Structure 1
Amino acid sequence: MKLLYWLDDWLSQTPEQQQTSLPFAGSDLLGDVFVKYHFIDTNKPLLFTFSPAGTNLQEQDLHEDFNPWGYKLARSQQVNIISFQHLGRSNWFRSRNLIFFIEQLAELLGPFKCRLGYGLSRGGFGVGAFANLLKLDQVLLFHPVSTKNKAKVPWDQRSSTDIAQKFDWLGDYHDVDLGHAKGYIIYDPTNPTDRQHAKRYPQLNHLRVYGMGHGTHATYLTKFGFYKQVAVDFIANQQIDVAAFRQQTRTLRFKEDYYKKLNKANAQSAHRLSLLSKAHQILLEEKAQHIQDHQAQIDVQPLVDIALKHEQDNPQDAIQLLEVAQQLSPEDPLIDHKLKQLK
Structure 2
Amino acid sequence: MSALDWLETAAAERERAGLHRDPIVRRPDADLLNLASNDYLGLSADPRVVDGARAALTAFGAGSTASRLVVGTTSLHIDFEDDLADFTGFAAGLCFSSGYLANVGAISSLVGRGDLIVSDAGAHASLIDGCRLSRAEVVVVDRGDVAAVDAALAGAAGRRALVVTDSVYSIDGEVAPVAELYAVARARGAALLVDEAHALGVRGPGGAGVIAEAGLSGAPDLVMTTVMSKSLGTQGGVVLGSRSLRTHLIDTARPFIFDTGLNPAAVGGAHAALRILRHDPGLPDRVRANAAMIARECGGEEPRAAVVSLIVGDPHRAVDWAARCRADGVLVGCFRPPSVPAGTSRLRITARADLDESAIERVAAVVNRHRQEVTA
Normalising by structure 2, we get a TM-score of 0.24
Structure showing greater radius of gyration is: 1
Using CA pairs under 8 Å that are at least 6 residues apart, name the structure with larger relative contact order, 1 or 2: 2
**Higher-helix-fraction structure:** 1
Normalising by structure 1, we get a TM-score of 0.25
